[in-house]
Amino acid sequence: MPLDGVRAALGTNESGLTDAEAATRLAAGGPNVLPRQRATALRIFLRQLANPLLGLLILVAFVSFVVGQRTDAVIITAVMSLSVGLGFFDEYRANQAAVLLESHVTRRARVTREGRLIEIPAEQLVPGDLLRVETGDILPADVRITSARDLAVDESVLTGESVAVEKTAAAPDDGGEMSAILLAGSTVRSGDGEGIVVATGRATMLGGIARRLETPPPVTEFQRGLRRFSLLLVSATAVLTTFILGANALLGRGWLESILFALAIAVGLTPQLLPAIVTVSLATGSRRLAARQVIVRHLVAIEDLGNIEVLFSDKTGTLTAGTITLERIVDGPERKERGVLEWAAAFLPAWQGLPPRNPIDLALSLDARLAAASDTPWEARGGLPFSYTRRAGAVLARDPNDGQTWLVVTGAAEEVLARCSSGPSWGSGWAASAQAALDDLVSHGIRPLTVAIAAHEDGEVGEDDLRGLEFVGFLGFSDPPKPGAMEALDHLARLGVEVKVLTGDH
């Protein structure tokens, strides 16, 4: 939607909302908070009683007490209390741990109201507010961007993708991308910007995820089986008890004697320890999982965990370390002087002592081979920042040896190769050789960064300068597996569990 349309739809302008209008909207829409976990202690306790077998045990204990079999009543009550108490304790503790996660998005926000930039609690944000963001901010709401300067955002909390995404004020042509939207829970990695709050609290995308956590969990196959077994016992006990009472009545037996005999049959048929055994077993599994930092909010889910046949796993930060490292250095076979590592060293002075703004630049800055590739540091003279539209960036740097100024371009393989017209270190068939090397990197799950160069005079660098480049080579990056990831996958394979990996990589 055009920005004018957004402002009209939300009743705001460049000066922001008035304090009165913001207060009205806050009262109508509620505070900007995620849905709270509503599983109270009473609700968790009542959930432990939702078992037909427990109902039968309560009935048996009551009848035993009435007819004088009080020792039996006490034993049955103690067993039921143990079962319910263990289940309640474990689920309540897990629920409290989950509630602590809600503090992740509690913070303050800078907004423009009545033309003044002020700071307010993030809970008081309302749709239509003008929100200011900068590097390091965690977004408290969904925002439509009105202005942006080198704005890149880490959306891994929502997508799992570790590489920051560029954001602009211009809406995408196809409408399928969210390049003009900042999502609640994401983190600003570079740049700054301003935008109009379009959704808060439950209405945000993060709020939608939180709402799904509120819904009752689906009934597991284990619960269905236990319920069918309990109902079978209840039905059999009811039929037999009715038959025994009827038969004794026909035979002229006394009612007290008949009730005691029917009660004995009912107690004999009822596995009084079954609820306790099930709960103790599941609680033991819950504690063993807790020792491995796994929160089990519903004990019955453990049985389903053991029945998994296909496991869908996130990749970044789950199977991998979530940290990008330089793994491959691919130079041309006819390299004579500088290689890709030496040219990439021109990027080191470009940050001027500041920390790099994206994971790949950070990996370059931390790699000792890159720092050692040049005896004398290059002198940064300018360049073009990396653009997620261009998918490339350039540094204008002066050679420390001969004083020649070079434009060193890095970026996505397809984009940079399309801007190259030669590749001396790769021979006459440089394009085919480069493509073969690129295919090999990708086939091994390595993310390629292409390096190209061009001689350049000091001065401004424009888009036209990023043409007719000389291809140099590739730097291959990977997110290495976590220690133990291979063993975990091997163990799953031995258990007959098929693993599918969810990833946004190439």
78 has a pLDDT exceeding 70 = yes
pTM check: above 0.85: no
Active-site positions read 314
Q: Cβ(262)–Cβ(241) under 8 Å?
A: yes
Contact 332, 461 (CB under 8 A): no
Q: Which residues contact 36 (CB under 8 A, 6 or more apart)?
A: 99, 102
Q: How confident is the model at residue 105 (pLDDT cuts 50, 70, 90)?
A: very low
Residue 72 · residue 268 · CB < 8 Å: no
Q: Can you tell me the distance from the alpha carbon of 415 to that of 450, in angstroms, rounded to the nearest whole number?
A: 9
Report the C-alpha gap between 7 and 149 in whole angstroms: 21
Mean residue pLDDT across the chain: 82
d(C-alpha 434, C-alpha 431), whole Å: 5
Helix axes 255-269, 221-250, angle to 10 degrees: 160
Helix, strand, or coil (residue 167): coil
**Residue 64's CB: how many other CB atoms inside 10 A?**
23
Integer Cα distance of 56 and 238 in angstroms: 10
| pLDDT over threshold 60, residue 102 | no
Distance of alpha carbon 403 from alpha carbon 379, whole angstroms:
9
Query: Which residue would you say has higher pLDDT here, 178 or 267?
Result: 178
Q: What pLDDT, on the 0 to 100 scale, is given for residue 230?
A: 77
pLDDT at 51: 67
CB 145 within 8 A of CB 181: yes
One-letter amino acid at 74 equals V
How far apart, in whole angstroms, are the C-alpha atoms of residue 94 and residue 103? Answer: 16
Helices (H), ranges, 296-409: 301-306, 340-344, 359-366, 368-371
pLDDT digits (tens, 9 = 90+) for 15-56: 999 999 999 999 998 898 876 655 677 777 777 776 666 776
pLDDT at 10: 93
Q: How far apart are CA 124 and CA 116, in angstroms?
A: 16
pLDDT tens digits for range 122-140: 899 999 999 999 877 889 9
pLDDT of residue 431: 93
Question: What is the per-residue pLDDT for 98?
Answer: 59
Handedness of CA 448, 454, 459, 464 (dihedral sign): negative
Closest CA to 32 of 145, 146, 129, 134: 129
Of the chain, the percentage scoring pLDDT greater than 70 comes to: 89
Beta bridge partners, 199, equal 142
How large is the angle between the packed helices 274-290 and 70-100, nearest 10 degrees?
Answer: 30
Confidence of residue 224 (pLDDT cuts 50, 70, 90): confident
Residue 335 has pLDDT above 60, yes or no: yes
Tokens of 259: 């009730």
Neighbours of 154 (CB within 10 A): 20
Which of residues 419 and 44 earns the better pLDDT score? 419
What is the per-residue pLDDT for 470?
Answer: 93
